[in-house]
Structure 1
Amino acid sequence: MEQGGLRKSGRQIIAAAALGAALLAAPPAGAQTKEELAEARALFQEGVALSAANNCAAALARFQAVANVRRTPQVLFNIAECEARLGRLVSALGNYRIAAAAADGDPKAREVTANVGARIEDLEQRIPRLAIRRGQGALTATILLDGSALGAAEMSADIPVDPGPHIVSARIGDREVVRETVTLEERDEKTVEVAIDEPPRPAAPPRAAAPPDVAPPEASRPAARPSKAPGLVVLGAGIASGVVGGVFLGLRAGTLSDLDALCGGDRSCPPSARPTADRGRLYTGVAEVGIGLGVAGVAAGIALLVTSGRSAAAAEPRAGAAAARRSAGGGVPRAAVVPHAPGADLAGLGVAGRF
C-alpha cells in the first residue's frame, strides 16, 4: 500500500516538474514585467516542492498566486491537483476542465493534455451527488445548501458536492423552519426531501377604522357627586342666625323687665315708657326672625349635606319629588314675621314658618 502511494507521489512530482519546465520556458507576456515573471517562477517552484512534501494547502496558495500573474494550462492543472488532494473535488473538476480547454491545440501543454482526461474521468466518478426536493409545505420556501439559496435548475437536478457534511435548510421570510445536516462520502448519491410541518401563519386581519368620537348620551354619563360646600354654608348661616336670634331674645327679656318696672305690671304705661316698648318690639322681631331663619338654615343645611353624600342618580328622584311638592304648594322652607301674632308679648310680634 505504501509502495503504491510512493509511486503515485513520484508520478505527481515528475508531472509537476515537467509542467514547471513548460512554464519556465514559456515566452514572457507583454502585460508582465521581468520581475513579476521571475517572482511567479519562484512561487511555482515553491508550490511544486510543497506539493511533493504533501503540504497541499501551502502549495495551493503558491499556485494561485502564480495564476494571478500567468494563468497557463500548467498552473491550472497544478491548482486542480492540490484541490483534489484536499478533498475539494468539485472545484478541482472545474479547474481540470478549464486546463483541458486551455491546453487544447497548445503544443507547449502536451503534458496537460496527456494527463487531464484521466483526472476528469476519475473525479466524475468520485464526486458525491445530492438531490434536494421540495416536500409538503415547502412549495414557497427558500431552500438553501450550505447557506446558498438554490435555484429552480439546481432543485430539479443532482448537485455535485464535496465529500463531508452539508447543511440543508429552508426559510420562510426571515425565519428558518428546517435545518438538516447530510454527510456524504465519495461516490455517494442521496436525496433529501424538505418538508415543513409548521402551519402557515394566518394573515393579520385588517385593522378596523376607529369610530368617530361620539359624546355619550347624558343618561349614560356618570353623574357628578354634588359638593358639600353649599350644605356647610347654609348650615353655618342657620347657626349664626339662631345665635343672633338668641342674643336679641335675651335683650328682649331685659327690656320686658324694664317695662314691668315702669308700668307697674299692668297694660297702662306712662308716655316715658314708650321708647322702651319700641325697643322691646324691635328686639322681639329680630329675635324671632333670627331664630326662625336659624331653624330653617340648619334644616336646609342638613338636607343638603345628606343629599351630597349620595350619587346623582339617587338624588334625582328626590329632586323630582321636591319639585312635585313645590308644584303642589310645598316649596322650600319659609319663615315670615307676622305682626301682632297670637301669643306674642308686649311687642306683639311672632314668626310663622312652613317647612
Structure 2
Amino acid sequence: MTRRLRRIASFAAFLLCPLAAATPAAAQESAAAEALFNRGLADMEAGKYEAGCPAIAESHRLEPKPGALFTLAICESRWGRVASAFKRFGEYLALHEQMTPAQQSRQGERAKVAREERERLAPLVPELSLSLPPGAPAGTVVKRDGEAVDAALLSTGVPVDPGEHVVSTQAPGGPVWETRIQIAEGEKKRVELQVSRAPTAAPSGGISGRRAAAYVAGGVGLAGLVLGGVTGALTLGKKSVVEEHCGSAIGQSDETACDPMGLAASESASTTGLVSTIGFGVGLAGLGTAAVLLLTEPEQGEAAAGATSRRIRAGVLAAGPGGVLIGARGAW
C-alpha cells in the first residue's frame, strides 16, 4: 500500500469511528423504544390507559415513527383525553401528507381513521380561557398544570383535556396563588384568575414621623418623671437635716435661724425641690403629648384620604395673657 493510500485509509477510519461508536447507542434506544411500545400496547388493550399511553408516548419520543404516533392518538382517545387525541391525529395526518405514495400505501387505513376520529372528537374538545384581573402587575406568570401559559393565549379559548386542571398565578416578588378548575367534554369555560401581590415595603425608618415624635415625647416624659422622683427623694432627705440644724433644734426661737449645716441643707433642698417640680412637670407634659399624638394618629389607609377613625383633634384650646393651653378635644 502506498503512502497516499495509507493516509486515505487512516482518514476514512477516523470518520467511521464515531459512526461505529454511535451505532450501539442508537440500537439501544431503538430496542428500548420497541420494548416500551409493546408494553404500552399491551396495557392499552387491557384498558390500563394511565400506564399504556405514557409508555407509547415515551417510545415515540425515543424513536419517532408514524405507527407509534397513530397508536398514541388511539390510546389517548380511549383514555378520554380528547384534546390530546385530536392533536395527535392532526400530527399524524400532517406527517402522512409528507410521505411518498409508497410510504402512504404501507400505512393502510390509518389516515382515513385519523380523519374520522378528528371529526368525531372535534365537538367533544373542551376550551378553557384564562384571564388576569384588571390591573394585574406586569410580568405576572400564569401556569396551567405546571406549564407556563403564553401571555398571547390569555383570554383565548385553548383546547384542554376534560377533567381537573391546576392553574396558578404569581406576580413578580409575590406569593403563588393556585386554584383547581374542573371542565367537562365540549364545555367552554372562562375563568378570571386572582393575583396575590408582592408585600408592600415598609416606609423608610419603619414608623411615621408622627409616631416617632410620640415616642420621643414619651421618652422625655419618662425621663422627667425619673428626674422629679430622684430629686424629690433628695429634697426629703435634706428636710430632715434642716429640722435637726435649724430653729428650736439648735436653741433658737427663730425657726428660720440655722447653723452652717442647716443653712447648706436648706439651700440644697430649695434647689432640688425646684428641679423635682420641673421634672414632674416636664414628665407629665411629655407623656400627655405622646398620648395625644398616638390617639389622634390616622389609621393606615385613611391618612392618604385625610380621614381618621377617631374624632379627637390636638391643638391650642385657649390662649390669653396668662399663657397658652394645649390639649385635645373630640370623642373617642
TM-score normalized with structure 1 length: 0.47
Larger radius of gyration: 1
TM-score normalized with structure 2 length: 0.50
